[in-house]
Structure 1
């Protein structure tokens, strides 16, 4: 997982959505918006397997499952994801302009 942390477009989105705290699957899908059920399922499986989020089951009636950032996931969100966001905020226009110049060749 280490080399593909940004390879799947929805993984960082799911991680960002979980920064507010644990959420049930349905609430995650609503808060993200635009994500298909299949894409959310795949992202959740990848992120659980990568130890960035945890799946917590509660023995209630009806059964409840929450997803939450692990401590490792929190360091990823607060570290590399935040740094990338700050970089895009600072240099995004410059990057876009450079890409536009290259595509106009």
Structure 2
């Protein structure tokens, strides 16, 4: 990569810039969640998109999953240290959205 073409914002947006990734990350700020619970916290996400989103976040090292050897299988997702480092950004986006929505109403 050429040094003069590197854009930190572009890099960040590649990691978290889809519609669903910030929502999944935000809901994991309070701690690990089972797969089904996490998916329900993200309204409108399809099973396929949820799977793709958590796989991408896991691949990028922002979340991890723990599989419990139970029947039926239990899977929990949690933020890695790298994912936790996004907390300030995610909380700022949440606050901005709340304040802006109040202004529009």
Asked if TM exceeds 0.5, the reply is yes
Match of 1:57 among 67, 79, 97: 67
Q: Which has the larger radius of gyration?
A: 1
Aligned to 1:11: 21
CA distance in structure 2 between the partners assigned to 1:29 and 1:88 by the alignment: 21
Distance 1:56 1:80, change over 3 A: same
Report the TM-score, using the length of structure 2 for normalisation. Answer: 0.72
Match of 2:30 among 7, 17, 20: 20
CA distance in structure 2 between the partners assigned to 1:41 and 1:5 by the alignment: 16
Report the TM-score, using the length of structure 1 for normalisation. Answer: 0.72
1:15-94 mapped onto 2 (5 Å cutoff)? 15-76=25-86, 78-86=87-95, 92=100
Unaligned runs of 5+ in 1: 97-105
